[in-house]
Chain A
Amino acid sequence: MSVFIDRSDRVLVQGITGGEGTFWTKHMRDLGTDVTAGVTPGKEGQSVEGVPVYHTVRRAVAEHPADAAMLFVPPRFTKDAVLEALDAGIRKVVTIADGIPLHEALEIRAAARSCGARVVGGNTSGVISPGRAMMGMFPYWIERVYRPGRIGVMTRSGSLTNEVAAMIVRAGFGVSSLLGVGGDSVPGTRFAEFLPDFQADPETDAVVVIGELGGTMEEEVAEAIESGTFRKPLVAFLGGRNAPKGKRMGHAGAIVTGGKGTVEGKTAALRRAGAAVADRPRLVGELLREILGDPAQI
């Protein structure tokens, strides 16, 4: 079992004929993901990497039922593409789009909630369970980063994920499922909403949260630990400890306003709840060893 995506999930790719769509569809299949159909308006009848292409999601799912939709769609068309997937009955959606208009992000989340669906992203590399399946863009072939194992990972940053995952692997561990919630201020799904899945996953021993300054997602993780919703060990690494106040550090969501969203505050909340917080990427692996023991001995 893995969190969010597994080999049994039938995945539809929206925007499959674009450069990214084509490139990553190949890699998703190579890893074992069951990509059943693709959608690009106007391109029905073509095929990409052996995957048949349809004009609309409705026409695609009529021939190939789908459990999940992977969007390689530009940000300004993302809301429409998400609504199209939801309308066709798909309840798991991943969007990598970087630059979704803020007001549309609100509408996307409201639409997902109203039908019990989960939208992951935007501004993310996606979701991967190494050795099994992925929706998104991960260099799973880099072995020192994407080794299968028993550590769950949730992250707001793609580049930092490679950095921290490499430290998890260097400490002798591997990754069960990795979920990129993305760097936007209003993501489709928030960290804490995945914690029950990791809690229930028998193949996850502990979770690493890669967070950063801004927003309240890390504080919500602390609340989930305090309330007993999440009971496995948790190690966090948070970027932006030294970021100057009022500067937006790259991601739309990475800004401290009015003294709220500081890494200091997040660290205190997580430690109070019993989580470990690493202040350097390397310490993530070391803390996991302290908590779980030497993985070679388990």
Chain B
Amino acid sequence: MKLHEHEAKEVFASEGIPVPRPVLATDPDAAARAARDLGFPCVLKSQVLRGGRGKAGLIKLVRTEPEARDTAAALFGGPHGVRKILVEEAVDIDRELYLSITVDPAAAEAVVLVCSEGGVEIEDLAARSPEKIVRERVPPAEGLSPYRARNVAYALGLSGEAAKKTAGILEALWRVFRKNDAELAEINPLFLTKDGLVVAGDGKLAIDDNSLFRHPGREPGRDYYDSDAAFESAAEGIPYLQFDGDISLMCAGAGLTTVVYDLIVDEGGSVANYLEFGGPNYKKAVRAMELCLKNDPKVILIVTFGTIARADVMAEGIADAVKRLAPKCPIVACIRGTGEEKAVETLRGLGLDPLFDTEEAVRRAVALAAAARAPGAAPKAGGSK
């Protein structure tokens, strides 16, 4: 779960990392008042979970109260779904650094990544000039010892108070990373100001989804998702990704669903949504189909090869879903695994033509979607023939 900047900075500040004075605003008038109270110039920062906010025009420097109000109104009214604006005092910048802590999966330990160029996309920099990135490993048994923080600060070419403060911030960032079960804790940029302060200009904090049960206040609300269906499926524990194509996937297993996605693209088709109803969700066919139908798909494609998720139980669920929801689009089903003989009977009872080969099922779904797109085409209800 990615936190919004204002949430991340709140956590940072609680561990002693200096941040610019903040006020959170939810409408243009509040933003203008906040700006006046903080003093000009100040910065309006849209709280949306996407990278490159600066380039997208979602962060603006304002110098007067009317300008603050107009700018905030434009941001709230823009196409990016901005619901909150973080108003911050502007900082007199001397230098910018990059600082992050993440997990190195191959080494199975945390790693500190820093760079003396702040504000850059670290991934671009890693590709372009990897020698500019300083890495410091953090062995799980040891944690981020103070000497490691000093290694990093001096490797950045800092000296005096700036080095000491940066090392201190890095130790605080490690506490943030540990206490919040983070996948990523990042300050980009970290400002060194002309009057000798070190301040977090931005804040990113991503909490490991598997650890959210330890962080009760952190259930992600609607503004953490890009569609209603994505939000509702997350609440149900159904893995879901929103796309904008024709074919709704209702598959079982992450690996298989991902491959079905690949094969659809290979065949020239497009995906409306990725959805897994395997594993613990294999009795949730009705809910799964309901979520798919929100996308008004041209075809629903069901592919499973289940073990614990029994084929016969999934087929029963699909029968139930078809009866209750009466989808108007065709359904292509390829349900295999434990209990598949009975599953086949159930599907035939629905008037479906059950398939056994994934690639054949994909080809049929893509053909049906293409036919439904053709001018004057009326998709056949319920069946797949």
Contacts and interface: CB of A to CB of B under 8 A. Distances in A.
B307 A158 contact: yes
A127 to B, nearest CB: 14
Given A101-B208, A139-B337, A250-B276, A106 B109 contact: yes
B303 to A, nearest CB: 9
Interface string A247-265: 1011111100111100000
A186 B213 CA distance: 19
A101 B261 contact: no
Interface in B120-137: 121-124, 126-127
A158 B358 CA distance: 16
B254 A183 contact: yes
B306 interface: yes
B100 interface: no
A244 B242 CA distance: 11
A190 to B, nearest CB: 8
B255 A159 contact: yes
A106 B253 CA distance: 25
A185 B266 CA distance: 27
A242 B254 contact: no
A163 interface: yes
Contacts of A115: none
Contact of B211 (A103, A166, A257): A103
Contacts of B307: 125, 137-139, 158, 162
Interface string A134-171: 00011100100000000000011111111100100000
B139 interface: yes
A6 interface: no
Given A106-B140, A142-B337, A162-B305, A157 B208 contact: no
A258 B122 contact: yes
A272 interface: no
A174 interface: no
Contacts of B214: 101
Contacts of A162: 256, 305-307, 336-337
Nearest to A122: B210
Given A139-B338, A185-B103, A249 B359 contact: no
B211 A101 contact: yes
Contacts of A155: 255
A19 to B, nearest CB: 10
A102 interface: yes
Nearest to B106: A216
A265 to B, nearest CB: 12
A252 B121 CA distance: 23
Given A98-B279, A137-B308, A159-B256, A106 B359 contact: no
A139 B108 CA distance: 31
Given A158-B307, A258-B127, A163 B359 contact: no
Given A162-B307, A163-B358, A242-B261, A106 B123 contact: no
A241 B140 CA distance: 33
A43 B338 CA distance: 31
Contacts of B213: 76
A128 to B, nearest CB: 11
A210 interface: yes
B239 interface: yes
A110 B257 contact: no
Contacts of B278: 159
A240 interface: yes
Interface string A93-115: 00000111111011101100000
Interface of B: 103, 105-106, 108-110, 121-124, 126-127, 139-141, 178, 181, 183, 208-211, 213-214, 239, 241, 243, 251-259, 261-263, 265-266, 274, 276, 278-279, 304-308, 336-338, 358-359
7 contacts: A20-B308, A110-B141, A159-B306, A163-B259, A242-B266, A249-B261, A250-B276
Given A110-B139, A190-B106, 16 more contacts: A101-B181, A106-B140, A138-B307, A139-B337, A139-B338, A142-B338, A157-B255, A166-B305, A212-B255, A212-B258, A216-B105, A239-B258, A239-B259, A239-B262, A250-B257, A281-B359
Which 8 A-B residue pairings sit nearest by Cβ, starting from the closest? A159-B253, A157-B255, A250-B254, A258-B123, A160-B255, A159-B256, A242-B265, A102-B208
